[in-house]
């Protein structure tokens, strides 16, 4: 009886209460139980912070954001950082100061950063010395003049024209009373990541404290939680290789695991050897992954049973995983591992469903987490029953308030009775167990990262020789998918694949690059002018 008479799939787990506090208070709620424990540590340098240090430095940072940088309640701060041990300090400090954190991928180009800064109206940017020049270029493009805070991870980095993070965290004499004036409540937006949703360009996803706290409590349900309790004598170590700038890393690894007192082992730059070495060195027993990482651990020569010996629980999410790849990984471990799968979206903070402990069905994404209802509908929005495939809809406290300043996208993304449309095609079995079958939306996922076709199409159309373009995702053996472009040249114009590919590469992060380009005479479109992506896929990608 997972299915109601109205064909709604209910969570098999008991409802949970959502604590009434801000995300900031939620994360630090247990601080006095483990002040001396390590909160975060860099996997390659060993630099890190205890919980008490992290709290104190972050608290001073918060006061200085109010005093020196005049941050006000609800101001947006762009955070463009890789996974460094300081990431939680930066984020929680901004939240404590009443700000909203908008994360940016640190491999973004100035073109991509500029777009996001303009759309989110940031008042401040936090980045590494290494990426200050990209940010400066982006600010120039955006005609913005806002302060840049640089987080130095080694003493020598050049940081001209920036404010140093450590100067804002270390002056102990700052007057903290300004923090009493912060007026933020559970329903206020506190995190603003970007997602393209079902169609178009990346949009700001408005997540409140309540959304994220709800999701932390949902994944803390005894049958689905992935970690062991922190005690006098025990602390789990979680490998933070998935980026904190993405909601999966932010909620599931950073916010939730810090609220539970785990040790975050941060890896700033992904190198298979460093990653594998750190798994052993820090005895990380908990690991969150996306499919390409599973594939790597199943095939890399250094991924031995010895290297993998401390892993107890591995949870995959962000893109579909082939069961054969999961099995190859188990072969490498040479022992039984608690391996599970989660499903969700940036718009849902992110977790919608998870496989509970002991459910060995690696093709499924499990059951809806507590307080979460699902529905599967056909193209006329009629509800379907068990084992029928259709679009998956979600209702629950983790669903975003909406896309920032985008009435049209919000109208398209929610039904009138408040269901969020995921754009994924799924089915549920009699027990309510969900399997993701396909993607209805145009979004492409490369290594679990979003690649919105509309973004690449807009860049292609800026090329002087191109009159029209369309981009679709095609299966890729290691990345999951990769973008393939269809290009229509202006009559009398010439351009080759390399020229076009280079033109795009200059403007986008490496994982969005296109090297598969096909010239065609016209892009198939509907009478309303929408690109018929299915037609392109069926005609050219089989
Ligand atoms: P976004 N299997 C298949 N597709 C998936 C899966 C999965 N397990 N998880 C996510 N997707 C796809 O916003 C799906 O198309 O968030 C979905 O609409 O970058 C899209 O990715 C959302 O992409 C976890 C672990 C959620 C990870 C996440 C993923 C968040 C990705 C819950 O426990």
- Nearby residues of 133 by Cβ (< 8 Å), 6 or more positions away: none
Query: Higher confidence at residue 539 or residue 80?
Result: 80
Cis peptide bond upstream of 158, omega within 30: no
Q: Which atom of ligand 1 is nearest to the CA of 423?
A: 18
Q: Which atom of ligand 1 is nearest to the CA of 321?
A: 2
Centre of ligand 1 from the C-alpha of residue 255, in Å: 18
Centre of ligand 1 from the C-alpha of residue 451, in Å: 13
Q: Rg for the chain (alpha carbons), in Å?
A: 23
Closest to 165 in 3D by CA, of 64, 275, 260: 64
pLDDT for res 362: 86
Note the pLDDT tens digit of each residue in 233-255: 999 999 999 999 999 999 999 99
pLDDT for res 518: 96
Q: How far is residue 512's CA from residue 508's CA, in Å, rounded to a whole number?
A: 6
Q: Which atom of ligand 1 is nearest to the CA of 344?
A: 26
Note the pLDDT tens digit of each residue in 309-364: 999 999 999 988 888 999 999 999 998 899 999 999 999 999 999 999 988 888 89
Q: Which atom of ligand 1 is nearest to the CA of 422?
A: 18
- Cβ 370 vs Cβ 353: under 8 Å: no
Q: Which atom of ligand 1 is nearest to the CA of 346?
A: 13
Q: Please name every residue paired with 450 in a beta bridge, in sequence order, or none if there are none.
A: 445
pLDDT for res 515: 92
Q: Which atom of ligand 1 is nearest to the CA of 439?
A: 15
pLDDT for res 471: 98
Centre of ligand 1 from the C-alpha of residue 10, in Å: 20
Note the pLDDT tens digit of each residue in 378-387: 999 999 999 9
Atom 29 of ligand 1 has which residue's CA nearest to it? 318
Helix (H) or strand (E) holding 425: strand 420-428
Centre of ligand 1 from the C-alpha of residue 345, in Å: 5
State both tokens at 13: 């787990």
Average pLDDT rounded to a whole number, residues 57-67: 97
Give the position of tokens 């807009």. 458
Q: Please name every residue paired with 486 in a beta bridge, in sequence order, or none if there are none.
A: 470, 518
Q: Which residues lie with the beta carbon below 6 Å from any ligand 1 atom?
A: 195, 248, 252, 317-320, 341-346, 350-351, 354, 365, 422-424, 436, 439, 445, 450
Centre of ligand 1 from the C-alpha of residue 317, in Å: 6
Centre of ligand 1 from the C-alpha of residue 420, in Å: 15
Pairing of strands 420-428, 390-395: antiparallel
Q: What is the interface pTM, i.e. ipTM, of the complex?
A: 0.98
* CA separation, residue 514 to residues 28, 398, 446, 511 (Å): 43, 34, 11, 9
Local confidence band at 157 (pLDDT 50, 70, 90 cut-offs): confident
Closest to 421 in 3D by CA, of 405, 400, 447: 400
Centre of ligand 1 from the C-alpha of residue 344, in Å: 4
* CA separation, residue 480 to residues 133, 242, 291, 420 (Å): 32, 16, 8, 25
Statement: residue 540 has pLDDT above 90: no
Atom 4 of ligand 1 has which residue's CA nearest to it? 319
Local confidence band at 1 (pLDDT 50, 70, 90 cut-offs): confident
Model pTM score: 0.97
Centre of ligand 1 from the C-alpha of residue 290, in Å: 9
- Cβ 378 vs Cβ 390: under 8 Å: yes
Pairing of strands 124-127, 76-80: parallel
The residue whose CB lies within 8 Å of the most ligand 1 atoms, and thus the one to mutate among 321, 326, 344, is 344
């Amino acid at each position: 009886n997972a299915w109601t008479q109205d064909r709604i799939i209910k969570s098999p787990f008991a409802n949970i209460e959502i604590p009434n506090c801000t995300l900031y208070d939620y994360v630090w709620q247990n601080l006095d139980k483990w002040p001396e424990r390590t909160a975060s540590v860099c996997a390659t340098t060993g630099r890190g912070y205890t919980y008490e240090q992290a709290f104190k430095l972050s608290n001073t940072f918060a006061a200085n954001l109010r005093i020196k940088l005049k941050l006000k309640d609800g101001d947006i701060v762009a955070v463009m950082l890789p996974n460094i041990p300081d990431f939680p300090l930066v984020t929680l400090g901004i939240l404590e100061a009443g700000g909203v954190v908008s994360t940016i991928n640190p491999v973004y180009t100035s073109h991509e950063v500029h777009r996001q800064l303009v759309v989110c109206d940031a008042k401040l940017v936090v980045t590494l010395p290494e990426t200050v020049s990209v940010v400066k270029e982006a600010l120039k493009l955006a005609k913005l003049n806002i302060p840049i805070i640089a987080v130095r991870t080694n003493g020598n980095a050049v940081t001209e024209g920036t404010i140093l993070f450590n100067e804002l965290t270390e002056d102990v004499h700052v007057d903290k009373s300004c923090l009493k004036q912060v007026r933020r409540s559970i329903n206020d937006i506190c995190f603003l990541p970007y997602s393209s949703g079902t169609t178009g360009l990346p949009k700001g996803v408005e997540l409140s404290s309540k959304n994220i706290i709800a999701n932390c409590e949902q994944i803390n349900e005894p049958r689905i939680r992935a970690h062991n309790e922190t005690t006098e004598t025990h602390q789990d170590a979680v490998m933070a290789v998935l980026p904190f700038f993405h909601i999966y890393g932010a909620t599931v690894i950073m916010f939730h695991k810090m609220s539970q007192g785990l040790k975050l082992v941060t890896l700033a730059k992904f190198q298979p050897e460093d990653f594998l070495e750190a798994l052993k060195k820090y005895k990380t027993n908990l690991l969150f992954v996306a499919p390409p990482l599973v594939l790597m651990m199943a095939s890399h020569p250094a991924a031995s049973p010895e290297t993998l010996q401390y892993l107890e629980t591995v949870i995959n999410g962000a893109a579909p995983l082939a069961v054969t790849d999961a099995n190859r990984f188990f072969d490498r471990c040479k022992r039984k591992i608690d391996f599970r799968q989660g499903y969700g979206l940036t718009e849902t903070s992110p977790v919608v469903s998870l496989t509970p402990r002991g459910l060995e069905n690696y093709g499924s994404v499990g059951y809806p987490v507590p307080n979460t209802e699902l529905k599967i509908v056909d193209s006329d929005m009629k509800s379907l029953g068990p084992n029928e495939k259709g679009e998956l809809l979600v209702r629950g406290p983790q669903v975003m308030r909406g896309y920032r300043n985008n009435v049209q996208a919000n109208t398209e993304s929610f039904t009138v009775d408040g269901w969020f449309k995921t754009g994924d095609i799924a089915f549920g079995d009699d027990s309510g167990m969900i399997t993701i079958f396909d993607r209805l939306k145009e979004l492409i996922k490369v290594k679990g990262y979003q690649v919105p076709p509309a973004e690449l199409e807009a860049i292609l159309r800026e090329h002087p020789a191109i009159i029209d373009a369309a981009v679709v995702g095609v299966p890729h053996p290691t990345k999951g998918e990769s973008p393939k472009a269809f290009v229509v040249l202006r009559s009398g114009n010439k351009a080759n694949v390399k020229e076009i590919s280079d033109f795009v590469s200059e403007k986008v992060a490496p994982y969005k690059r296109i090297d598969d380009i096909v010239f065609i005479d016209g892009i198939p479109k509907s009478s309303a002018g929408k690109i018929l992506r299915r037609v392109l896929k069926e005609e050219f990608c089989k």
